[in-house]
Amino acid sequence: MVLAEENDLANKQELMNWSKGCFYKSDGRKIDEDLGAKVWDFCMEIDAEAQRMHCCLSKQDKTIYTVEDFYVDRLPEFLEKFSMSDRDDATAIFNSFFNYQRLNFGWDIAKVPFESYIKYKDIDGGDAFMPKGARSLISAIASRFRSKERIKVGVEVVTVNWEDGGVKIRCSSGDTYRAKCAVVTVSLGYLKKHHQTFFYPPVSHEKYLAIDRIAFGVVNKIFLEYDPPFWSKDTPLDSVRLAWDNKELVITDHKSQWFKRIFCIDAVRFNPNCLCVWISCHEGLHVETVPDEEISETCTMVLRQFLGDPTIPYPCKVIRSTWGTNKYTLGSYSCMGLRSDASHFNILAEPLKDSNGQLRVLFAGEATHAAFNGTMHGARESGVREATRLLRQFGTDPRKSECFIRDLVVLNEVY
């Protein structure tokens, strides 16, 4: 029996697929494109430098050194690379980079320890874009499944009983399923809320601490549909990146100022009538509860203000993701929090064994990968890890079951 996670990991992959885009100030002025590209390249260099470090920086007062601390410390040196006349614009772009990093982590970077950079690893090959979305990949793989009747979609699992003798899965419908093992890939957000009633016997105290302390943030998209669009092939709109001044970016009330957490507004590939607004953190969660009319009004206000065009029309339709309030996800993806470290991801990944030492419940999903948490490839690798563990448990050579492993992994993560 496989329990599955439907998480917005595709968000994070898409974050790195942007065109260069342009930066705009709140007075409607477009920042010089060459300056914007130069500043952004420097931001990426600082980001790469952070990932190359092998020791954790610290503050003199011994409190936890955060990702935000690192960038704030680098800002004076960063600004010296630019003339005095360009420094205000460079600072505004740096502020935009802060919102970009909030999307990257899905969490307030003032609450992300710098240690999270040290454990992260880059992989070769770049990112892939799937025109029809991640579900099209899953559908293609599922079409090769021989026993399709054994795939249960839309079935809510309420308890996993893993006492001696096997695993019993109970569903909200009253149906039960028995198996030798279960692979649980529900989101960390779901585990945070339900782990005490979801498992019987309960998980260990160490696993409880891992569930509790790993951070699980929110990243959302707002799609704005126009009929007709106010841009065209002659006047294209690729990526509008909002470059706030220091005072403007301060948020005193996230409910009324949620728009300040928007990083950019993008044209949507393969959908020429739509724009996509990227937003994260508490403000991203609040957006899930805001009426469509307020989203339409606010996003139009932002577009008119930053593009300097008061004639930009209201969208005819608003669609937004709801990863934070969806009862099966309760967030988007994980990252290290102030109370966690890399060991917590490994502890979360550890399987549950009965009193005889037999594997009963295995854990997969992005939050169980210490190096690649928060990514689709991390989710996939965790599935390969647990599929390999199962094959070895039942005396099967994983090298002869590569196709089975690939199929099991992707299906775990989406269904």
Same domain, 85 and 151: no
Q: What is the DSSP letter of 333?
A: -
Closest CA to 112 of 217, 221, 262: 217
Partnered with residue 317 across adjacent β-strands are 225
Same domain, 36 and 164: no
Is 249 domain-assigned?
no
Angle, helices 33-52/67-79, rounded to nearest 10 degrees: 130
Mean pLDDT within 35-59: 82
Q: Is the alpha carbon torsion for 93, 232, 322, 182 positive or negative?
A: negative
Is 80 domain-assigned?
yes
Confidence grade of residue 401 (pLDDT, cut at 50, 70, 90): low
How many contiguous H segments (helices) and E segments (strands) does the chain have? 14, 16
Residue pair 370/334 in contact (Cβ under 8 Å)? The answer is: no
Instruction: Give pLDDT, residue 55.
Output: 64
Q: pLDDT at residue 134 above 90?
A: no
Q: pLDDT at residue 7 above 60?
A: no
Is 167 domain-assigned?
yes
Instruction: Give pLDDT, residue 135.
Output: 80
Same domain, 178 and 104: no
Same domain, 61 and 210: no
Give buried/exposed letters for 192-225 (b at 16+ CB in 10 A, else e): eebbeebbeeebeeebebbbebbbbbbbbbbbbe
Is 110 domain-assigned?
yes
Q: pLDDT at residue 154 above 80?
A: yes
Q: Lowest-pLDDT range, 136-145, 189-198, 311-320, 384-393?
A: 136-145
Domain boundary among 119, 153, 174: 119
Mean pLDDT within 377-405: 78
Same domain, 150 and 112: no
Same domain, 67 and 23: yes
Q: pLDDT at residue 408 above 90?
A: no
Instruction: Give pLDDT, residue 214.
Output: 97
Residues 6+ apart with CB under 8 A from 112: 66, 67, 68, 105, 215, 335, 336, 337, 338
Task: Give the helix/strand (H/E) hosting 63.
Answer: none
Instruction: Give pLDDT, residue 238.
Output: 80
Question: How, if at all, do strands 239-242 and 22-24 pair?
Answer: parallel
CA distance 120 to 49: 12
Is 70 domain-assigned?
yes
pTM, rounded to two decimals: 0.87
* CATH at 162: 3.50.50.60
Is 302 domain-assigned?
no
Q: What is the DSSP letter of 65?
A: P
Q: pLDDT at residue 138 above 80?
A: no
Same domain, 334 and 211: yes
Number of structural domains (the chain) is 2
Is 183 domain-assigned?
yes
Residue pair 198/292 in contact (Cβ under 8 Å)? The answer is: no
Residue pair 112/70 in contact (Cβ under 8 Å)? The answer is: no
Same domain, 210 and 342: yes
Same domain, 79 and 10: yes
Same domain, 198 and 99: no
Instruction: Give pLDDT, residue 189.
Output: 97
Same domain, 87 and 150: no
Q: 267: helix, coil or strand?
A: strand
Q: What is the DSSP letter of 234?
A: S
Q: pLDDT at residue 231 above 60?
A: yes
Domain that holds residue 99: 1-119
Half-sphere exposure of 377 (CA within 13 A, CB side): 13
Same domain, 175 and 106: no
Residue pair 374/334 in contact (Cβ under 8 Å)? The answer is: yes
Is 222 domain-assigned?
no
